[in-house]
Amino acid sequence: MTRPTFYYDFNSPYAYLAAHRVDDVLPVRARWEPIAFGALLRQIGKVPWSLQPGPERERRLRECEQRADALGLPLHWPAGWPDGNYSILVLRAALVAAGQSRLREFSLAAFRRGLGEGGDLRDLDTVRACAHEAGIDPDAVARGVEQPDVKQRLRDATDAAIARGVTGVPTVAVGDELFWGDDRLEDAAAALTS
């Protein structure tokens, strides 16, 4: 069976929801791949719903809150969300965690502290707390996020996702098929079993 890839960024409420379901919905464990959604948007020239004022944005915010509630997940919009609190720091920290085989654990901690609690993932102390919760040395993460190779890995992962055709997060890739959105996890699961 093909191993799927789960693309996400910590600023996406739909990625937050999907991160708590992806391992249960898919019949095989996905490879988690954090990417810089902000860089992806700039590259493809897309303006997400969250940056478009009006009733559609408000409807989507309420929908996210209802879906989180149905899953028993807290959802607290961080101050300045989405663009005023966007964080590359936490994405780099996730890659440091991946190097210690703790990417999933770190990512869930970061989602909890960010969208779950409304915390600021631009803050190094918050990111260090996520590392501690994931069983990683916070000092190693603080040093790692400044390493040129970590910065380059994030650029490379984002560029590879764009080249693959990823246009939003969360996306699950199954072979050449892309399933964009938390509501497409079941479709990705079906593609894996067909």
Domain holding 95, by residue range, is 5-193
CB 75 within 8 A of CB 116: yes
> Stretch 121-150: mean pLDDT, rounded?
98
Q: How many domains does the chain have?
A: 1
2: pLDDT confidence band, cut at 50, 70 and 90? confident
User: What pLDDT is stored for residue 177 in this prediction?
Assistant: 97
CB 155 within 8 A of CB 130: no
Report which of 191, 188, 184 is spatially closest to residue 14, judged by C-alpha positions. 184
**CB atoms near residue 175 (< 10 Å):** 10
CB 98 within 8 A of CB 136: no
Residue 94 has pLDDT above 80, yes or no: yes
> Stretch 109-123: mean pLDDT, rounded?
98
Residue 59 has pLDDT above 80, yes or no: yes
User: What pLDDT is stored for residue 38 in this prediction?
Assistant: 94
Give the CATH number, domain containing residue 182.
3.40.30.10
CB 127 within 8 A of CB 140: no
165: pLDDT confidence band, cut at 50, 70 and 90? very high
User: What pLDDT is stored for residue 194 in this prediction?
Assistant: 86
φ, ψ of residue 10 in degrees (nearest 5): -75, -10
Residue 95 has pLDDT above 80, yes or no: yes
104: pLDDT confidence band, cut at 50, 70 and 90? very high
User: What pLDDT is stored for residue 179 in this prediction?
Assistant: 98
Q: What is the pTM of this model?
A: 0.96
Helices 124-133 and 89-99: crossing angle in degrees, nearest 10, is 30
Report which of 51, 170, 153 is spatially closest to residue 94, judged by C-alpha positions. 153
145: pLDDT confidence band, cut at 50, 70 and 90? very high
